[in-house]
Amino acid sequence: MTLLIPETYPKKLIDKNGKRLDGRALDELRPFKCKIGVLANAHGSAYVEHGKNKIYAGVYGPREVHPRHLARPDKGILRVYYRMSSFSVHERKSPAPNRREREISKIIEDALAPTLFLELYPNSAIEIFVQVIAADGGTRCASTTAASLALADAGLPLKSLVAGVAAGKVDGKIILDCGDIEDKAGQADIPAAIRMTDEEYTLLQFDGEMTPEELETAISYVKKGAREIFAKQTAAIKEKFERIRQETDAENKKIGKTDINPDDDMLGDEDSMDMPLELEKGLERVKEDKTKSSDKSSKPEKEVNTLKEESK
């Protein structure tokens, strides 16, 4: 496709000091930031900033499959919708889903399915919607990272989180985490996603030319990068809940409650799984009492007052 505004790439992508266009070392990641629970209506959601990539992912389900004939009686299905916003790239992208988006949806699906227990959800579907707000090379990897976080946020049982990162070859040198220009002007590109508990690859694509030795270096870079991303994913999740804990500890001190037995009053106590029966039974009784009392109190107060005054 011819671009209306042609993109120009610099001749040298790596300078004399071995630094890249944005000043990174060869095996250095772009700045990475993530957050969970960002969309109110989704069952689980996540937001990822990887370099200049800005990506939202939302998880819905497990829920009914539409059209119904796609449902499988033995296990659930996972469906991913990867979409790029029309303003996310250099030149406007048509909002209609294209071949590339369908491909990336498919590979994200394949990258995440091995972490799910799909056999728990017969006849239902888990749907992930990935929306790229800004693209800066390596969106498929960043989208996989985001989608994995969103699945975890939805509370679905997962074998592991997945971290995605790409390696590439630029000016004859292997680099980690290609940026937009390195991706387009480079000689090779290896997007990968890794299931972090056993470090198995769930996504590995290859585009370009490399010698076997270079490939090995690239793979080692990818592993290193994925571990860094995984550490940041984990930290982001924990930070969210730890922050609330710190806030509440301060509140506890404020109200003068310091002698807390942590075992006493905690989520997941089996005692508190059921609503006590006497309370449930009381519900009916309370209902009647309250209606009677509220009728009495609500209706007349003003009238009674005025009547009293009149009588005086």
Q: Which is nearer to other proteins, 1 or 255 (CB)?
A: 255
- Buried/exposed 72-83: b ≥16 CB within 10 Å, e otherwise: eeebbbbbbbbb
The residue range among 48-56, 100-108, 273-281, 303-311 that interacts with other proteins, by the rule CB under 8 A, is 273-281
Minimum separation from the CB atom of position 145 to other proteins (A): 13
Ramachandran area for residue 106 (φ above 0: left; ψ -120 to 50: alpha; else beta): alpha
Measured from the CB atom, is 132 or 226 closer to other proteins? 226
As given in the structure block, the two tokens for residue 249 are 């500890």
Structure tokens at 6: 């042609």
The yes or no reply on residue 263 touching other proteins (CB under 8 A) is yes
Residue in 158, 185, 204, 219 binding other proteins, rule: CB under 8 A: 158
| Residue from 159, 173, 224, 227 in contact with other proteins (CB under 8 A) | 159
Give CA–CA dist 159/139, Å, rounded.
23
Rounded CA separation 131/53 (Å): 11
Give, for 234, the enclosing helix (H) or strand (E): helix 212-254
Site string for other proteins, 276-295 (x = CB under 8 A): x--xxx-xx-xx--x---x-
- Identify the CA nearest to 162 among candidates 146, 176, 180, 138: 146
Identity of the residue, 4 or 255, whose beta carbon is nearer to other proteins in the bound complex: 255
* Residue in 107, 120, 83 with CA at minimum distance from that of residue 166: 107
Least CB distance to other proteins at residue 116 (A): 10
Nearer to other proteins, 71 or 185 (CB): 71
**203 contributes a contact to other proteins by CB under 8 A:** no
Least distance to other proteins, CB of residue 243, Å:
11
Q: Which of residues 58-97 bind other proteins (CB under 8 A)?
A: 61-64, 73
What residues numbered 208-247 form the site for other proteins, per CB under 8 A? 233-234, 237-238, 241-242, 244-245
Least separation in angstroms between CB 237 and other proteins: 5
If the CB atoms of residues 13 and 150 are measured against other proteins, the closer one turns out to be 150
By CB under 8 A, what part of segment 96-155 binds other proteins? 115, 117, 121-124, 152-155
> Toward other proteins, which CB reaches closer, 27 or 200?
200
Which one, of 127, 174, 161, 296, lies nearest residue 236 by Cα?
161
Phi, psi of 193 (to 5 degrees): -135, 140
If phi > 0 it is left, if psi is from -120 to 50 it is alpha, else beta; for residue 18 that is: left
Q: Which two tokens stand for residue 117?
A: 């227990």
Q: How far apart are CA 220 and CA 229, in angstroms?
A: 14
C-beta of 25 vs 244, nearer to other proteins = 244
Q: How far apart are CA 199 and CA 59, in angstroms?
A: 24
The answer to whether the CB of 158 falls within 8 A of the CB of 93 is: no
Q: By the criterion CB under 8 A, which residues form the site for other proteins?
A: 43-44, 61-64, 73, 115, 117, 121-124, 152-161, 195-198, 233-234, 237-238, 241-242, 244-245, 248-249, 251-252, 255, 257, 260, 262-269, 271-276, 279-281, 283-284, 286-287, 290, 294
